[in-house]
């Protein structure tokens, strides 16, 4: 079964760092982009960017460029989303999704989501 499994919920304080993960299985992880999508409480979906696990090439949405870092380790079929200094406004659900398997930009397989809560 093709799936993406994300790391568990996180509760952090402002200023702390965080890395969440997304592990793929059931397919050749390095062959497809991984996108990250944010959903803030009560709000819509926002595309944050994508990473090519094969060479770690990244492409960020201007809204997120410089605020987060995407990385990947194809040897363990895992992508990461990282913050160096969290803010309360980073509180959200974060999804990873496979991009490029259906159509060029369709995201056909999604992780279950990781809830990040940033509060003092």
Stretch that binds other proteins, among 9-17, 19-27, 69-77, 98-106 (CB under 8 A): 98-106
Judged by CB under 8 A, which of 11, 45, 76, 88 binds other proteins?
Answer: 45
> How many angstroms separate the Cα of 40 from the Cα of each of 45, 66, 78, 89?
8, 19, 24, 8
> Which residue lies nearer to other proteins by CB, 50 or 86?
50
Minimum CB distance to other proteins, residue 103 (Å): 4
Residue from 8, 41, 66, 103 that binds other proteins (CB under 8 A)? 103
Of 25, 28, 108, 119, which lies in the binding site for other proteins, with binding defined by CB under 8 A? 108
**Residue 102 DSSP SS3:** strand
Shortest gap between Cβ of 66 and other proteins (angstroms)?
Answer: 14
Neighbours of 48 (CB within 10 A): 21
SS3 content of the chain, % helix, strand, coil (to 5): 10, 55, 35
């Amino acid at each position: 079964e093709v799936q993406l499994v994300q790391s568990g919920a996180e509760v952090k304080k402002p200023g702390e760092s965080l890395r969440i993960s997304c592990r793929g299985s059931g397919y050749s992880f390095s062959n497809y982009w991984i996108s990250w999508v944010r959903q803030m409480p009560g709000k819509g979906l926002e595309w944050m960017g994508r990473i090519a696990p094969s060479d770690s090439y990244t492409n960020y949405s201007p809204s997120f460029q410089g605020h987060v870092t995407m990385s990947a380790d194809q040897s363990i079929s895992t992508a990461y989303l990282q913050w160096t200094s969290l803010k309360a406004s980073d509180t959200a659900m974060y999804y990873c999704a496979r991009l490029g398997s259906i159509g060029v930009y369709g995201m056909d397989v999604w992780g279950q989501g990781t809830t990040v809560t940033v509060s003092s």
